């Protein structure tokens, strides 16, 4: 910065008479009045800047004169792209930082708790974190926002400790209470209770939240206990070398059995393998996968028999078999639809509805499951319910004449 | 106003570029099934440099001049254990630079690792430009969560060489969380389990009200798909030795082929319970007969080969959960990313630990790049009402007497961060104090890495422990660390800024940039926008290139010249002995 253009001023509180100075320095000092530029002082003394600048330096170092810092401040403000509103917001928050308590810094009341504190911190972060103004020139506001953000973070962290917060909040309320109303020194909890009494609806809501939180905590605890239990069991069962070998052999056997098409035996082998070597996730995975496949295979077998029975004109037998298959693989839409259809034929509408409903759940966007559900409900004389499914079926296939007829018929009945 | 800010996932094995605009995220590096780029750079026999898919394809026929997994070396010291271990496993040759950084042999020239990274980044940049039809200048680049300051800085410099301005470096798991939560109204605690080709990281984040707050991160710099592959590779060598009586481990040129087979085997085993490997005519025996490899591996055997690696990742999850002060049941969602996360044994172990089935909402290979692009979009737009609260990746502190590390700002502290501690002298009438700033990823081993130092002179002659020096550490959102030390008595103050963006000299970056473009056969444009004729064709003819990166901080404090102020110290006492933590730090 160019010193020549600056106007040095005297530092307040320095006794100019008692300090020891060389004559030339004294002469410089006498010209310092906060109005005159260095260049003018030098000119008035008839000297050169090269000769005299060291006096300014030493006078400044000794704390006798100072150079006003406004120049730099102006500069940093000029380099800032924030609008007046944003600047005011920052200045106002700085005020809070100087004077306010943790609650005030976050712009909440001392009765605020848990999620309210967190929400306030998140909202504050979105106003004062420098990243929210990325790409804009922030000048010295960058540092100032950092200070604000850190203070908010500190307040959040402090108030997030429940016990700590309670003590702190009570202290603040006491202070305020002493100032205007002694009643305010009541215990925080009691005060909260009074507040809630005023608004039964709010209290009920809070109780519900509290209950849910408790339940969640308990569930969490149970989960954690269970996990630990399993871990402990596993740890206590460190598989011996022999067991690992056994597990491997069993696994190989299971693979053989899969190749031979005997999925049930394979699943059993994998299960056994996983008990010998509980650490190996693959054994467990393979067991689950194979077991699922085995069940599916079995269901398919039963469904094949059911197909034969149905075509042989034995709907009661076929219905039972499809139901069995569907119970094994509940996700299979065809099994459920076929079970519903066959039960429908033998007029067992309750059973038919059970499987029709399952079919709809397994495949809500399937015309077949919708049609069978509509038919069964129609037979049960629930026309409104039937109409819903029929309309769904129509939305899936707009061209189907039978479905169209069905919708028309059901609409009439429903009315 | 900034133009586009792209997101770059610079992976160990694969890399990806993405962009987010008002239409949402999209991947810019490729289309269809192949939307990532292999992190491979090669020098062809003609002396031309290629990067990405073309480099990957020729890897087998050109093993010594094909560079892969170099992310594991970037910003590393040569004499670190990790570097040494890794250097023994790659087919290209690596060596130490003068400043103890790592250099690779690039067609007879020694070039810093970050220069190789820059070549890949240049390829990614041009892919993005092709897809967008306009020039790209700004990027958010991701790094593993455990990357230290040097590694982050080297990544920044590599981008600069490639002609990119890095507006922010963020952690990979953080990026994944951004990709997961952006644009959704969430109130969730999520765990990100990121296992890529070379690194493993886990982060715990809280996502609510549009704010993504990183709570804790943990990771292992040397745990990833490569290690899983290497287990298979080792197993293959063992089997070959058993079946054919030949040890092929020393034959470096065979390694890429075997490694590729191992990779394929691993990938096959995610879809099938059993897979075969076939390497006909792998090598010739002394009697002239060929070694034909034909083997079968099943999932259970693979599980066994890698079981301890899997368990290691779970242990790291535990560390992160503890650091985040989060209980198992409080995690609402676990997100798996990184190529390795496809492995079923890993998925099972993760589910077992967290008690929630892992979410597959994100594409394991693209999520990180998309998340980086999300951060770019968030920063650029500014008015989306969303914010990322990131944390410091490492412990920051001072090296004090006895060569001990004293933390000032802990790892996982939200940035911008600031902390102060009072330090003092260890000897009577000490005239100066040397402050050595260091970072540490793991306090339990008392391991740390110096990142800068300065001297505070003109102390008052006082007995040991009587001088009070206030040390203030500050880290801003760009990861720039500022350290100041103030003598409470005299007001004497010194400060240093570490890791500002672009620590490498601009001239030097320009020099490397020109070299890189030349070997890639790209036109070199000078400051006036004129195309400078490429001076030489082959890298082999290239004049002196290379040089050092920022990785030139003195390993030991030099103790000369600038150290005059400490001249009265006895010669055998090392300068670091001079700083001591004050017994009662001021609160």
pLDDT band at B574 (very low <50, low <70, confident <90, very high): very low
Is residue B173's pLDDT more than 90? yes
Average pLDDT rounded to a whole number, residues B499-505: 54
Average pLDDT rounded to a whole number, residues B549-567: 34
Mutation for testing the B interface, residue in A114, A134, A288 having most B CBs under 10 Å = A134
| A273: closest CA of chain B, how far (Å) | 10
**What does B435-470 look like in DSSP terms, one character per residue?**
EEEEEES-GGGT--EEEEEEEE-------TT---EE
Which residue among A129, A153, A224 places its CB closest to the CB of B329? A224
Residue B103 among the catalytic residues: no
Q: Taking CB atoms and an 8 Å limit, are A224 and B327 in contact across chains?
A: yes
| B384: closest CA of chain A, how far (Å) | 9
Nearest CA in chain A to B269: A282
Between B242 and B539, name the one with better pLDDT: B242
| A161: closest CA of chain B, how far (Å) | 12
Cα B506 to Cα A355, B157, B509, distances in angstroms: 74, 10, 5
Average pLDDT rounded to a whole number, residues B61-90: 87
Nearest CA in chain B to A273: B300
Q: Taking CB atoms and an 8 Å limit, are B302 and A282 in contact across chains?
A: yes
Mutation for testing the B interface, residue in A86, A127, A128, A135 having most B CBs under 10 Å = A135
Q: What is the pTM of this model?
A: 0.66
Task: Indicate the SS3 state at residue B107.
Answer: coil
Is residue B572's pLDDT more than 70? no
Average pLDDT rounded to a whole number, residues A145-159: 94
Residue tagged active-site, from B122, B123, B157, B194: B194
**Separation of CA B536 from chain center:** 33
pLDDT band at B550 (very low <50, low <70, confident <90, very high): very low
In this predicted model, what pLDDT tens digit does every residue of B257-300 receive, in sequence order? 888 889 889 888 888 888 998 888 888 888 888 888 888 889 88
Which of A240-244, A271-275, B409-413 is least confident?
A240-244
Q: Taking CB atoms and an 8 Å limit, are A123 and B348 in contact across chains?
A: no
Nearest CA in chain B to A220: B329
The b-or-e profile of B63-74 (16+ CB within 10 A means b, else e) is: bbbbbbbbbbbb
- The phi, psi pair for A72, rounded to 5°, reads -65, -35
Nearest CA in chain A to B213: A122
Q: Which residues, at least 6 apart from B554, have a Cβ–Cβ distance to it below 8 Å? A: B450
Which residue among B209, B352, B418 places its CB closest to the CB of A119? B209
Give the pLDDT of residue A372.
92
Residue B447 among the catalytic residues: no
In this predicted model, what pLDDT tens digit does every residue of B315-348 receive, in sequence order? 999 999 999 999 888 899 999 998 889 888 899 9
**Hey, what's the torsion of the CAs at B373, B374, B379, B380, to 10 degrees?**
70
Distance CA B43, CA B215 (A): 43
**What does A51-63 look like in DSSP terms, one character per residue?**
HHHHHHHHHHHTT
pLDDT band at B525 (very low <50, low <70, confident <90, very high): low
3-state secondary structure B50-100: EECHHHHHCCCCCHHHEEECHHHCCCCECCCHHHHHHHCCCCCCEEECCCC
Give the pLDDT of residue A194.
52
pLDDT band at B558 (very low <50, low <70, confident <90, very high): very low
pLDDT band at B235 (very low <50, low <70, confident <90, very high): very high
Sheet holding B395-400, edge to edge: B404-409, B395-400, B433-440, B449-456
B-chain residues near A224 (CB < 8 A) = 327-329
Q: Taking CB atoms and an 8 Å limit, are B345 and A285 in contact across chains?
A: yes
The CB density around residue A114, as the number of other CB atoms within 10 Å, is: 13
Average pLDDT rounded to a whole number, residues A94-105: 88
Residue B71 among the catalytic residues: yes
Residue B9 among the catalytic residues: yes
In this predicted model, what pLDDT tens digit does every residue of A167-215 receive, in sequence order? 888 888 887 764 444 334 444 555 555 554 555 666 666 677 677 777 7
Residue tagged active-site, from B149, B172, B263, B453: B172
Average pLDDT rounded to a whole number, residues B61-78: 89
């Amino acid at each position: 910065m160019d010193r020549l253009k600056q106007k040095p001023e005297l530092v307040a509180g320095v006794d100019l008479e008692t300090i020891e100075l060389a004559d030339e320095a004294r002469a410089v000092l006498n010209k310092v009045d906060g109005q005159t530029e260095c260049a003018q002082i030098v000119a008035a003394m008839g000297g050169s800047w090269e000769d005299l600048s060291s006096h300014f330096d030493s006078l400044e170092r000794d704390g006798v004169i100072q150079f006003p810092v406004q120049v730099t401040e102006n500069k940093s403000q000029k380099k800032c792209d924030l609008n007046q509103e944003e600047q005011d917001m920052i200045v106002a928050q700085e005020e809070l930082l100087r004077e306010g308590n943790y609650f005030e810094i976050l712009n909440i009341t001392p009765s605020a708790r848990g999620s309210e504190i967190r929400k306030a911190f998140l909202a504050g972060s979105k106003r004062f974190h420098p990243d929210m103004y990325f790409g804009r020139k922030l000048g010295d506001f960058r540092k100032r926002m950092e200070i604000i953000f850190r203070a908010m973070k500190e307040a959040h962290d402090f108030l997030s400790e429940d016990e700590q917060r309670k003590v702190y909040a009570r202290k603040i309320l006491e202070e305020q209470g002493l100032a205007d109303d002694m009643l305010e020194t009541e215990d925080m909890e009691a005060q909260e209770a009074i507040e809630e009494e005023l608004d039964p609806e709010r209290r009920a809501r809070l109780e519900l939240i509290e209950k849910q939180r408790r339940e969640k905590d308990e569930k969490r605890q149970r989960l954690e206990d269970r996990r630990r239990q399993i871990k402990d069991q596993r740890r206590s069962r460190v598989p011996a070398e022999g067991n690992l070998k056994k597990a491997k052999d069993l696994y190989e056997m299971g693979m053989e059995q899969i190749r031979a098409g005997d999925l049930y035996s394979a699943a059993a082998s994998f299960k056994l393998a996983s008990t010998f070597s509980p650490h190996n996730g693959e054994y467990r995975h393979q067991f689950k996968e194979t077991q699922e496949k085995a069940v599916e295979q079995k269901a398919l077998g039963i469904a094949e028999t059911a197909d034969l029975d149905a075509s042989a004109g034995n709907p009661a037998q076929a219905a039972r078999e499809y139901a069995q298959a569907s119970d094994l693989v509940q996700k299979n839409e065809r099994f459920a639809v076929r079970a519903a259809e066959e039960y429908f034929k033998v007029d067992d509408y309750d059973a038919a509805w059970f499987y029709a409903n399952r079919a709809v759940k397994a495949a809500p966007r399937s015309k077949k499951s919708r049609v069978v559900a509509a038919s069964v409900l129609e037979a049960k004389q629930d026309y409104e319910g039937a109409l819903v499914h029929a309309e769904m079926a129509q939305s899936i296939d707009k061209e189907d004449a039978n479905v169209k007829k069905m919708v028309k018929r059901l609409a009439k009945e429903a009315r | 106003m900034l133009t586009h800010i792209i997101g770059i996932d610079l992976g160990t094995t694969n890399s990806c570029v993405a962009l987010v605009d008002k239409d949402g995220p999209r991947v810019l590096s490729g289309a269809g099934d192949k939307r990532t780029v292999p992190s491979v750079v090669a020098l062809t026999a003609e002396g031309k440099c290629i990067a990405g898919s073309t480099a990957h394809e020729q890897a087998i026929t050109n093993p010594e001049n094909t560079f892969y997994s170099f992310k594991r070396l970037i910003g590393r010291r040569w004499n670190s254990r990790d570097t040494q271990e890794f250097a023994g496993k790659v087919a290209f040759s690596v060596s130490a630079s003068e400043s103890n950084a790592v250099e690779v042999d690039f067609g007879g020239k020694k070039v810093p690792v970050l220069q190789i990274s820059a070549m890949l980044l240049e390829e990614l940049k041009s892919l993005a430009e092709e897809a967008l039809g306009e020039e790209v200048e700004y990027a958010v680049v991701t790094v593993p969560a455990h990357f230290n300051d040097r590694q982050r800085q080297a990544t920044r410099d590599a981008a600069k060489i490639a002609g990119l301005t890095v507006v922010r470096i963020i952690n990979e798991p953080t990026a994944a969380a951004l990709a997961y939560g952006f644009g959704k109204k969430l109130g969730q605690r999520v765990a990100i389990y990121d296992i890529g080709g070379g690194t493993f990281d886990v982060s715990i984040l809280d996502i609510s009200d549009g704010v993504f707050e990183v709570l804790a991160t943990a990771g292992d710099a040397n745990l990833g798909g490569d290690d899983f592959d290497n287990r298979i590779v080792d197993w293959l060598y063992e089997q070959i030795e058993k079946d054919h009586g030949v040890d092929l481990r020393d034959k470096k040129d065979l390694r890429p082929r075997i490694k590729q087979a191992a990779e394929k085997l691993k990938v096959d085993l995610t879809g099938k319970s059993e897979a075969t490997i076939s390497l006909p005519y792998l090598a010739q025996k002394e009697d002239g007969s060929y070694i034909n490899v034909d083997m079968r591996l099943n999932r259970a055997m693979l599980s066994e080969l890698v079981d301890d690696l899997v368990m290691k990742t779970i242990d790291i999850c535990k560390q992160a959960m503890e650091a985040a002060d989060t209980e198992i049941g409080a995690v609402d969602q676990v997100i798996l990313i990184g190529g390795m996360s496809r492995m079923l044994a890993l998925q099972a172990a993760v589910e077992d630990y967290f008690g929630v089935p892992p979410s597959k909402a994100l594409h394991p290979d693209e999520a990180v790049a998309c998340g980086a692009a999300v951060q770019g979009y968030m920063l650029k737009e500014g008015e989306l009402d969303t914010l990322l609260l990131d944390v410091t990746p490492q412990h920051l502190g001072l090296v004090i007497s006895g060569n001990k590390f004293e933390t000032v700002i802990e790892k996982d502290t939200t940035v911008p961060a600031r902390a102060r501690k009072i330090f003092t002298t260890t000897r009577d009438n000490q005239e100066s104090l040397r402050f050595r700033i260091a970072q540490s990823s793991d306090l339990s081993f008392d391991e740390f890495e110096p990142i800068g130092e300065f001297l505070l002179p003109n102390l008052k002659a006082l007995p040991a422990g009587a001088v009070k020096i206030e040390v203030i550490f500050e880290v801003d959102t760009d990861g720039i660390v500022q350290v100041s030390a103030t003598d409470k008595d005299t007001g004497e103050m010194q400060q240093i800024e570490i890791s500002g963006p672009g620590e490498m000299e601009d001239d030097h970056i320009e020099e490397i940039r020109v070299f890189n473009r030349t070997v890639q056969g790209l036109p070199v444009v000078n400051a006036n926008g004129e195309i400078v004729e490429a001076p030489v064709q082959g890298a082999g003819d290239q004049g002196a290139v290379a040089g050092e990166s920022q990785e030139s901080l003195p390993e030991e404090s030099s103790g000369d010249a600038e150290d005059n102020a400490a001249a009265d110290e006895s010669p055998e006492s090392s300068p670091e002995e001079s700083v001591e933590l004050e017994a009662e730090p001021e609160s």
